[in-house]
Amino acid sequence: GDQQSPKPEYHIVSVEFTRVETPFLIGIWILFASIAKIGFHMTPKLNKIFPESCLLIAVGVIVGLLLFQASSVHISPLTPDTFFLYMLPPIILDAGYFMPNRLFFDHLWTILLFAVLGTIFNTMSIGVSLWLLGKSGMFGYETPILDMLLFSALISAVDPVAVLAVFEEIHVNEILYIVVFGESLLNDAVTVVLYHMFEAYSEMGPSRIIYTDVLTGLASFFVVAIGGTVIGVVWGFITGFVTRFTHQVRVIEPIFIFVMAYLAYLSAEIFHMSGILAITFCGITMKNYVEANISHKSHTTVKYTMKMLSSSSETIIFMFLGVATVNNAHNWNTWFVVMTIVFCSVYRVLGVIVLSALANQFRLHKLDKVEKFVMSYGGLRGAVAFALVLLIDPKHVPLQPMFVTTTIAVIYFTVFIQGITIKPLVKILNVKRAEKRKPTMNERIHERIMDHTMAGIEDIVGKHGNHHVRDKFKRFDNKFIRPYLVRDYCGAEPKILETYSKLAMKDALDYIRRNASTI
Amino acid sequence: MVTPNQIERLYSRFTSLDRGDCGTLSREDFLRIPELAINPLGERIVNAFFEESGNDRVNFLQFMQVLARFRPIKKNSPNRLNSRQQKLRFAFKMYDLDNDDLISKDELLAILHMMVGANISEEQLTSIAERTIVEADENGDGMISFEEFCKALERTDVEQKMSIRFLS
């Protein structure tokens, strides 16, 4: 009678949201971000004044406010895990895969100087300066030196996502671009090490640190950097090798490239190596061999998928930054925020001046005043800093909420103030702009002749520079690597053949277009 | 200006290349440098030194004069030997074997052969050479003159590409 449960009815329509909640919300986020992006491109006036990243953050803030009003639940979609595991890898892979290798390696020493020494200098100087100010009681809190250093480690790294987002729009000349962008990619190793080091130290407590801990930190830097690079290069070679055998199953070619690069990132992260370095070098390495193996269509697919993934990740990151601003419990400390911004800017300029003076001693192309200015001004901070600050455990570091607020403030400062003003500044300062184009047949061949000539002259002078090293590597590559990784290995100088076939294809397409009726 | 220090370093290199201790270098002295011997352009680079000297020995002054072309260009001190024009001239010489100031199809093919190696079919190389000439050839004589060569490399940063920092 009464205890009997109601007879189960068969509903024509039933609502079950919980089952699809997560994928549905992700879908909505991506849709919303993409629509916002279309919106900016349809309003040219807005697009001219603001870089896209600013507009996306603004949209994020609006969405965050709506969510904040609509529900008391704090949803923070930008967790460190989603950021580091899903949103960062596509952007970095895109950067590594389409890296202009020649340019990158030509300026490698300058890039390394800025990425390693520059980041260490920034971290130490910002951390110590904040700590000294803290001792004077300016912030109203006790500021232990280790907590300050932990904070400065995450705030002083130039962010690859923000730099790319802003620099892609302003088209500065290639040297300036590669130095700033290379720095932002390679400084990850330093950031990872310093961050983990100071995190461990502050958990240990300052009294228990002995000098061996400092030495271990130094050693772990080399392990993290070199380990990450090696893992990336090895995965890159394996990818090249696998694509050697895919000519029967063309449709899965792009999958190998994405999955194996992603595995390179993850396998580096497993060992706390630099995942960013791993995936960058995986892209740099695989490109040389993969492009010779995969079909033209697969290549186009890879290119567009990569661009799409990275641009949507970037879009989502900036929007989430905006959303997260509203959602987190803030602890605003005016002096701390102001002084962090001041120190970040001042030490960035100082570091660039000193390090470029050092680099100019060894460079053929000297970095001039304007370039130094753009380099120091282009040192944008971004989502990597934000994700790292969220990772700090408030139990060990009670100042964490203040760090979060300050990090957001610094990101807003660099992305908005510096991001908006850099375009007009580049125009006023008359910075040499880049011109993007494909090389002609003549340029390809004559420039190779120049390379060989210079390698020969370096050998005669007996002074081994870039040309000599490149020549050696090319010879090694052609003899021992290419024959095993490339299916239809066709001699040295694949670039000349590539340029030729590209130009021939373009001619053919033009011909078809002109003479459409005859075919 | 070249510092005395650099001249000294280059002179010590010069003497270490000079196996016969006769104050001049022969072709064999150059080709004994292992990397240069396998450089596809090795022989032509060496020839450039002997063209400067006019006979079959190269003395230190002539040695320096060829190397001077690869000094980085300084803005405030224009130099005759390391101008963009001179650097391009040197590269052009790598092709122009018969010194007629024109790169013919055969001369280009010979260079491509040396660089690309044997795995490429003759027809493919020929069509690459033909395309390259058509692209640069403005007066329609089927060859690339020095002026056309310079024009084709207008957008190339020759000043950077053909300089050695060590010689600054």
Cβ distance of B112 and A471 shorter than 8 Å: no
Q: Is A169 on the interface with B (CB under 8 A)?
A: no
Task: Tell me how many degrees the CA angle A418-A421-A427 measures, rounded to the nearest 5.
Answer: 130
Interior/surface letters B7-40, b for 16+ CB within 10 angstroms, e for the rest: eeebeebbeebbeeeeebbbeebbeebebbeebb
CATH fold, domain B4-70, is: Recoverin; domain 1 (1.10.238)
Residue range A228-242: mean pLDDT, rounded: 96
Contact between A268 and A227 (Cβ < 8 Å): yes
In chain B, where does the domain assigned CATH 1.10.238.10 lie? Answer: 4-70, 80-160
Q: A111: closest CA among A180, A41, A200, A204?
A: A180
Cβ distance of A446 and B45 shorter than 8 Å: no
Q: Which CATH class is domain B80-160?
A: mainly alpha
Parallel/antiparallel/unpaired status of strands B58-59 and B102-103:
unpaired
Kindly state the percentage of chain A with pLDDT values over 90: 35
- Of chain A, the end-to-end C-alpha distance in Å amounts to 83
If 0-12 CB within 10 Å is exposed, 13-18 middle and 19+ buried, where does residue A331 land?
middle
Q: Is A107 on the interface with B (CB under 8 A)?
A: no
Contact between B115 and B40 (Cβ < 8 Å): yes
Cβ distance of A471 and B35 shorter than 8 Å: yes
Task: Tell me how many degrees the CA angle A198-A202-A204 measures, rounded to the nearest 5.
Answer: 115
CA distance B87 to B109: 22
* Per-residue pLDDT band at A417 (split at 50, 70, 90): very high
Give the per-residue pLDDT at A5: 67
pTM of the model: 0.88
Residues 344-383 of A with CB under 8 A from B: 362-365
Cβ distance of A459 and B117 shorter than 8 Å: no
Residues 135-164 of B with CB under 8 A from A: 135-136, 144, 149, 152-153, 155-156, 158, 160-164
Give the per-residue pLDDT at A253: 92
Give the per-residue pLDDT at A74: 54
pLDDT digits (tens, 9 = 90+) for B49-89: 888 777 888 888 888 888 888 888 877 666 677 888 889 99
CA distance A364 to A251: 45
Q: Is A21 on the interface with B (CB under 8 A)?
A: no
Asked if the model's pLDDT at residue A1 lies above 50, the reply is no
Helix (H, G, I), strand (E, B) or coil at A70: helix
A491 vs B90, B91, B117: nearest CB: B117
Task: Tell me how many degrees the CA angle A29-A32-A33 measures, rounded to the nearest 5.
Answer: 85
A450 vs B152, B162, B164: nearest CB: B162
Cβ distance of B165 and A452 shorter than 8 Å: no
CB contact set of A237 (below 8 Å; sequence gap of 6+): A285, A286, A289, A481, A485
CA distance B35 to A463: 12
**Interface predicted TM-score (ipTM):** 0.93
Cβ distance of B161 and A455 shorter than 8 Å: no
Residues 44-63 of B with CB under 8 A from A: 45
Instruction: Name the token pair of A232.
Output: 């990336």
Q: Is B127 on the interface with A (CB under 8 A)?
A: yes
pLDDT digits (tens, 9 = 90+) for A44-71: 888 778 888 888 898 888 888 888 777 6
Cβ distance of B161 and A460 shorter than 8 Å: no
Asked if the model's pLDDT at residue A2 lies above 60, the reply is no
Residue range B31-43: mean pLDDT, rounded: 88
Choose the most confident range, by mean pLDDT, from A339-343, B3-7, B21-25.
A339-343
CB atoms within 10 A of CB A225: 22
DSSP bridge partners of B102: B145
